[in-house]
């Protein structure tokens, strides 16, 4: 029996390529010189797609030449790179890679929070520049006595909260719904939480529903001692409003892992000494990226073995027929 044909939209990790090459006939879209004629010839045979949040968006126009597509397996827990409305309309299942990255992303978030407050990268640069030989590094802000508000207390938000418990700080959260199984303070409005807190950690999904959730009003409410940590998606924060707030002292500082137009980062942020900027690395260890890659492959393998998808997204639920 011939193997199912799978399309990979952009290069992925060896763990994914090796597993898919073994189980399927794998086509590499990025290697095709004439993409249109490749898709018109091979497209009708494609039954699965492997794609990634970093490269290779799965927009509506890529569904068109794949009339027999059954499943899109996306690398990353966030799936704002896949047009799930189009997938649902066509009866295509979309899967993501939840849970296997919770601890890694939460660890990095705490690191970014401490790095931002205690100016760890700035202190490292200070030493390397030979400035310590002339004077001690200036005293920094602190995590002590702070109240931390988590915007999006989901799988990763909860892992962040558990770590924060060990740091003896007050923990609050905002989301569209109160969660009965947690003891953290719930704020039904984001402005209300920003007013009450002096750290906001953003860890919601991206996409239209959360676009510019963190705007000029929220930053004003956070206040001049306030720190914003964004490990969600660049689109969740109004980047221009953030730049203004950082320039004017409306908030104290920010630690960012994600940006509106990645990998391009506004020069105004790069020029600021009081922000910490990371290149979207929250899940970026070999251990965790391998686990995510394995789940991309396992979703496709399970589907074509007739076992159903392992981690379908809510917009394309799987019901066994
Ligand atoms: P999750 O379990 O689905 O949690 C998402 C949380 O966001 C939920 O608690 C949800 O609560 C809240 N939320 C959704 N829409 C909201 C809105 N409009 N306003 C306020 N809260 C809202 O997702 P997860 O697995 O924790 O992942 C979260 C996101 O983190 C991903 O989608 C991805 O974008 C990002 N991420 C980034 C990195 C990185 O490398 N920087 C790595 C992993 C994940 P309610 O439903 O109650 O509103
Ligand atoms: C990865 C992420 O950086 O899972 C997500 O939503 O943003 C990160 O884990 C990304 O998926 C890499 O493609």
For 219-236, write each residue's pLDDT tens digit. Answer: 999 999 999 999 999 999
pLDDT at residue 57, rounded to an integer: 80
Q: Are 23 and 300 in contact (CB under 8 A)?
A: yes
Q: Is 177 in the pocket of ligand 1 (CB under 6 A)?
A: yes
pLDDT at residue 1, rounded to an integer: 74
pLDDT at residue 112, rounded to an integer: 99
Mutate to test the pocket of ligand 2, among 78, 84, 152, 159 (most ligand atoms within 8 A of CB): 78
pLDDT at residue 53, rounded to an integer: 78
pLDDT at residue 319, rounded to an integer: 86
Q: Is 311 in the pocket of ligand 1 (CB under 6 A)?
A: no
Enumerate residue ranges in the chain where pLDDT < 70: 56
Residue span(s) of the chain under CATH 3.40.50.720 come to 5-100+287-304, 102-277
User: Is the full-model pTM beyond 0.75?
Assistant: yes
What CATH number belongs to 5-100+287-304? 3.40.50.720
Mutate to test the pocket of ligand 1, among 104, 153, 156 (most ligand atoms within 8 A of CB): 156
CATH topology classification for 102-277: Rossmann fold (3.40.50)
Helix (H) or strand (E) holding 51: strand 46-52
For 22-78, write each residue's pLDDT tens digit. Answer: 999 999 999 999 999 999 999 999 999 999 977 768 988 999 999 999 999 999 999
Residue 53 CA to residue 9 CA, distance in Å, equals 11
pLDDT at residue 106, rounded to an integer: 99
Residue 225, token pair as written in the block: 């001692």
List 162, 262, 287, 315, catalytic entry: 262
């Amino acid at each position: 029996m011939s193997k199912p044909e799978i399309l990979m939209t952009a290069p992925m990790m060896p763990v994914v390529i090796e597993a898919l090459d073994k189980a399927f006939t794998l086509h590499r879209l990025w290697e095709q010189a004439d993409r249109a004629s490749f898709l018109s010839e091979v497209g009708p045979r494609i039954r699965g797609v492997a794609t990634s949040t970093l490269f290779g968006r799965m927009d509506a126009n890529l569904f068109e030449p794949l009339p027999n597509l059954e499943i899109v397996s996306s690398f990353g827990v966030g799936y704002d790179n896949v047009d799930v409305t189009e997938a649902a309309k066509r009866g295509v299942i979309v899967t993501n890679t939840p849970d296997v990255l919770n601890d890694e992303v939460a660890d990095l978030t705490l690191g970014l929070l401490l790095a931002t407050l205690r100016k760890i990268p700035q202190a490292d640069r200070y030493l390397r520049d030979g400035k310590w030989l002339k004077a001690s590094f200036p005293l920094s802000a602190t995590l002590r006595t702070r109240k931390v508000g988590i915007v999006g207390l989901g799988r990763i938000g909860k892992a962040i909260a558990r770590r924060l418990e060990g740091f003896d700080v007050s923990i609050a959260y905002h989301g569209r719904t109160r969660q009965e199984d947690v003891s953290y303070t719930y704020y039904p409005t984001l402005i209300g939480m920003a007013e009450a807190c002096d750290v906001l950690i953003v860890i919601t999904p991206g996409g239209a529903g959360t676009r510019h959730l963190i705007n000029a009003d929220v930053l004003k409410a956070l206040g001049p001692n306030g720190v914003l940590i964004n490990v969600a998606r660049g689109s969740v924060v109004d980047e221009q409003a953030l730049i203004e707030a950082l320039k004017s002292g409306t908030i104290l500082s920010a630690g960012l892992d994600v940006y509106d137009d990645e990998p391009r980062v506004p020069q105004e942020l790069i020029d600021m000494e009081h922000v910490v900027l990371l290149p979207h690395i929250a899940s970026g260890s070999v251990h965790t990226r391998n686990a995510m890659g394995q789940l991309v492959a396992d979703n496709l393998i399970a589907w074509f073995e007739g076992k159903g998808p392992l981690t379908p997204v809510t917009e394309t639920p799987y019901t066994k027929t």
